[in-house]
């Protein structure tokens, strides 16, 4: 199955990095600029994962409760 140009523009693409400053990472910046489609850039680790331009994905308090609960099980 071949992708058409219209299909590529509609693709959702996620890029993950442990580094908060994406502009210092040439490789990631080049991909963000050159990839066709809607690119979502996530950075951070643990409870501090964020989508570029948005708040933290999971608030810290619920994350700590979830982490504690999973350790108990």
Say yes or no to pLDDT of 1 above 60. Answer: no
Domain ranges of the chain: 5-72
Q: pLDDT (tens digit, 9 = 90+) per residue, 6-64?
A: 655 578 898 888 876 656 677 788 888 888 888 888 888 776 778 887 766 666 666 67
| Cβ count near 58 (within 10 Å) | 14
In the prediction, which pLDDT does 59 show? 65
Say yes or no to pLDDT of 4 above 70. Answer: no
> Is-contact 7 32, C-beta < 8 A?
no
In the prediction, which pLDDT does 54 show? 74
In the prediction, which pLDDT does 27 show? 79
DSSP-derived secondary structure letter, 49: -
């Amino acid at each position: 199955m071949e992708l058409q140009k219209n299909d590529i523009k509609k693709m959702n693409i996620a890029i993950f990095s442990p580094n908060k400053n994406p502009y210092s990472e040439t490789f990631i910046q080049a991909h963000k600029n050159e990839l066709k489609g809607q690119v979502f850039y996530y950075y951070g680790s643990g409870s501090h994962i964020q989508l570029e331009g948005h708040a933290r994905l999971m608030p810290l308090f619920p994350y700590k409760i979830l982490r504690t609960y999973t350790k108990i099980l």
